[in-house]
Chain A
Amino acid sequence: MNASERTASHSGGTRSPGDQPGQRRVAVIDGASGYIGSNLARLLLDEGQEVVALSRRGREETRRVIDEAVVARGHRMPRDARLAVVDYDLLAPGLGLSGDAGQTVFGQPCDYWHLAADVNFRPTFRDRIMAVNVEGTANTLAAFRALAPPGSTYVFVSSAYSCGYETEQPAERWYDDADDSSFRNFYEASKRRAELLVRNAIDAGISGVVLRLGQVVGDSETGRSTSDYGIYNLMRAVWTVARRRPGEHIRIEAHPASSLHLLPIDACVQWMRAVAQNNVGALSPPVVHVVDREPVRVGTLVEAIERSVPLRISVVTPDDFARTPSTRLERVVAARMAYMGAYLDAPFIFGRGNLDRLTEGEPRALDDEALDRVVSSFLLALREEFPPGRAADSSAQANGAS
Chain B
Amino acid sequence: MTGIDLDELQARVESVVRERAPELRDPMTSALRLVEDLGFTSVELLELATEIALEFDIEPLGEEMLTDIRTIEDVVSLVRTLCG
Listed in ascending order, the chain A residues whose CB lies under 8 Å from chain B are: 120, 122-125, 228-229, 233, 236-237, 240-241, 244-245, 328, 331-332, 334-336, 338, 386, 390-391, 394-395, 397-400, 402
Contact = CB atoms under 8 A, between A and B. Distances in A.
A84 B19 CA distance: 37
A335 B60 contact: yes
Given A233-B43, A332-B54, A400-B11, 4 more contacts: A124-B63, A240-B47, A241-B50, A244-B54
A398 B15 contact: yes
B19 A391 contact: no
A348 to B, nearest CB: 23
A402 B15 contact: yes
The 3 closest A-B pairs by CB, nearest first: A335-B60, A397-B15, A398-B11
A122 B66 CA distance: 10
Interface of B is mostly: helix
B57 A125 contact: no
Contact of B54 (A240, A397, A399): A240
* Size bracket, chain B contacts: 20 to 34
Interface of B: 8, 11-12, 15-16, 18-19, 41-43, 46-47, 49-51, 53-55, 57, 59-63, 66-67
B9 to A, nearest CB: 8
A331 B11 contact: no
Contact of B51 (A229, A240, A328, A402): A240
Contacts of A395: 12
A309 to B, nearest CB: 14
Nearest to A228: B43
Contact of B18 (A228, A236, A241, A402): A402
Nearest to A125: B42
A394 B53 contact: no
